[in-house]
Amino acid sequence: MQRTTPYQSPFYIILLVLAGEAVFILPFVLARVFRATVLDVFQITNTELGYCFSIYGIVALISYIIGGPLADKYPPKSLMGIGLILTALGGIVYASNPSLLTLQVLYGFWGFTTIFLFWAAMIKATRVWGGVSNQGKAFGFLDGGRGLVGASFGLLGVVIFSLFIVEDNVALTSAQQVEAFQTIVYASSAIVALVGIIVLLFLKTNVAQQENNTQTITLDAIKTVLKLPSVWLLMIIILCAYVGYKITDIFSLYAKDVMNYSEVDAAKTGTFLLFIRPLVGVIVGFLADRSRASLYLCMGFALSIIGAILFASDILSEDTTVLFFLTIIITALGVYAARVLYFAVMQEGKIPLKLTGTAVGIISFIGYTPDIFAGPMIGYYLDGIPGKEGHFAVFWMLAIFSAVGLVASIAFYRFARTE
C-alpha cells in the first residue's frame, strides 16, 4: 500500500523549491537584479522590456488553461524536468546579445516552457506535500525557498559582475557589460539544466499522483471549478498580488535613479530584496497554519499599501538610506506574504485536490494577466514621466491594486469562514 501521510520527505520539497525558482531565473530574476544592465546590454527601453514580458504573458495565458488540466493527468517530474531543460536551452539565445525581435520571440518561448509544462504541476505537487492541515507551511517553504534560491542566483550574478570591475566607482564599458552579463547567463543556464536533470531522475511522483493519476481532461471538471466562488475571488487576489510582485522588479532601478546608487550597489539592493523573501515565506507559512491563511493574506495587502505610499510620497532620497531600506522591508513583507498565501488558501476555499491542476490553470488565466499589461504599464510610467515622478506613478499603481486585493481578501476570508 502506498504511503498517504501528508508530509513527504524533505528531499521532495527541496527539489520543488530548486525547480520552482530555477525555471524563472533566466526570464525574470536576472532582469530584476540587473535591470539597468539588461537595458544597456540589449540597448532597449523599459517599455520595450515590458513588451517582452507581455509576449511572455500572452503565451503564458494560453498555457495556463491548457497546462492546468495537463498537470492532473501526467507526472510532475516529467512536465517539470522537460520544462527546466528547455528553459535552460533558451539561455544560449539570451547570452548571444540578441536583437529586440529575437528577445521577444525568446520570451514567448519561455512563456511556454515555464507555464504550459511546469507551473500547475509544481503547484499540485506542493499542495499534496502539505496535506490537509499544512498548506501554509507547504507554500511557505516553496515560496520562501524559491526566494532563497533566487537570492543565491542574484548574489552569484553580483559576484561575477564585480569581477569585471577593475577600479571602484568606474563604470564598465559596453563590451565589459556584455561579457559580464553573458557569463552570468551561461552560468545560470547550466545550473537550470542541471536542476532539470535531477528532477527527471529523482523527483518521486507516486504520492503526488495518488489522488487521481488517470484524471482525464474534461469540460465537466472545468465547469465544476468555475462554480466555486473561491476560484473567482482568487483570480482577483492573485491578479492584484502579482502586480505587486512585478513592481518589485524596479526596486534596483529605483535605487539607481532616485537614490543615486551605483550600478553594482543598485544590483545589491535588488539582491537584498530577494533575501527578504525566504524569511517572509517560512514565517508567514507557519503563522498561517496556526490561524487562517486568508487573514494573513489581508495583512499582506495592507502592508503593501503602506509601503507603496511611502515609496510614492517623495520622502525618500539619498540622505534617507535607513528609511529607504525600511520601506523596502515593509513593501516586501506585504508583497511576499500575499504571494506565499494565495495558493495556500485553496484548501480553505474548498477546492478539490483532484482538480487542483484545472483550478490553478483557470485561476492563473486571469490572475497572471499582469504578465501582459504590468510590464508595459511600468515601462510607460518610467519612460514617459522623466525622473523620480515616473517611479512615484508606478508605486501609486501598486497602492491601488493592493487596495483592491485587500477588499477581495476580506471577502474570501468571510466566505471561507461561513463554509
Q: How far apart are CA 98 and CA 240, in angstroms?
A: 32
- Mean pLDDT taken over the chain: 84
Q: What pLDDT, on the 0 to 100 scale, is given for residue 218?
A: 61
Reported pTM: 0.76
- Return the half-sphere exposure (C-beta side, CA atoms, 13 A cut-off) of residue 38: 29
Q: How far apart are CA 381 and CA 266, in angstroms?
A: 20
Q: Which three three-digit cell numbers place residue 312?
A: 510614492
Domain assignments of the chain as residue spans, ordered by start: 10-204+213-418
Q: How far apart are CA 85 and CA 109, in angstroms?
A: 13
Whether residue 409 is predicted with pLDDT greater than 90 in this model: the reply is yes
Which whole number is the average pLDDT over 12-29? Answer: 89
Q: Which of 69-83, 184-198, 348-362 has the lowest mean pLDDT?
A: 348-362
**DSSP-assigned letter for residue 258:** T
Judge whether 277 and 332 are in contact, CB under 8 Å. Answer: yes
Judge whether 84 and 195 are in contact, CB under 8 Å. Answer: yes
Most confidently modeled range among 91-100, 290-299, 380-389: 91-100
Q: How far apart are CA 267 and CA 39, in angstroms?
A: 13
CB atoms within 10 A of CB 131: 17
Q: What pLDDT, on the 0 to 100 scale, is given for residue 303?
A: 96
pLDDT band at 1 (very low <50, low <70, confident <90, very high): very low
Which whole number is the average pLDDT over 273-283? Answer: 80
Q: What pLDDT, on the 0 to 100 scale, is given for residue 133?
A: 63
CB atoms within 10 A of CB 207: 18
Whether residue 27 is predicted with pLDDT greater than 80 in this model: the reply is yes
Residue type, 53: F
Whether residue 274 is predicted with pLDDT greater than 80 in this model: the reply is no
Position with higher pLDDT, 334 vs 72 = 334
Whether residue 287 is predicted with pLDDT greater than 90 in this model: the reply is no
Whether residue 205 is predicted with pLDDT greater than 60 in this model: the reply is no
pLDDT band at 171 (very low <50, low <70, confident <90, very high): low
Whether residue 172 is predicted with pLDDT greater than 70 in this model: the reply is no
Which whole number is the average pLDDT over 47-57? Answer: 89
Judge whether 402 and 301 are in contact, CB under 8 Å. Answer: yes
**DSSP-assigned letter for residue 105:** H
Q: What are the pLDDT digits (tens) for 76-133? A: 888 999 999 999 999 999 999 999 999 999 999 999 999 998 988 888 888 777 766 6
Q: Which three three-digit cell numbers place residue 55?
A: 509576449
Q: Which of 172-181, 216-225, 271-280 has the lowest mean pLDDT?
A: 216-225
CATH number 1.20.140.70 given to 10-204+213-418: no
Residue 374: its H or E element: helix 370-384
Enumerate residues 6+ apart whose C-beta is below 8 A from 59: 108, 109, 111, 112, 115
Which whole number is the average pLDDT over 9-31? Answer: 88
Q: How far apart are CA 20 and CA 142, in angstroms?
A: 8
Judge whether 15 and 125 are in contact, CB under 8 Å. Answer: no
Q: Give the distance, in angstroms, between the CA of residue 262 and the centroid of all CA atoms in the same chain.
A: 26
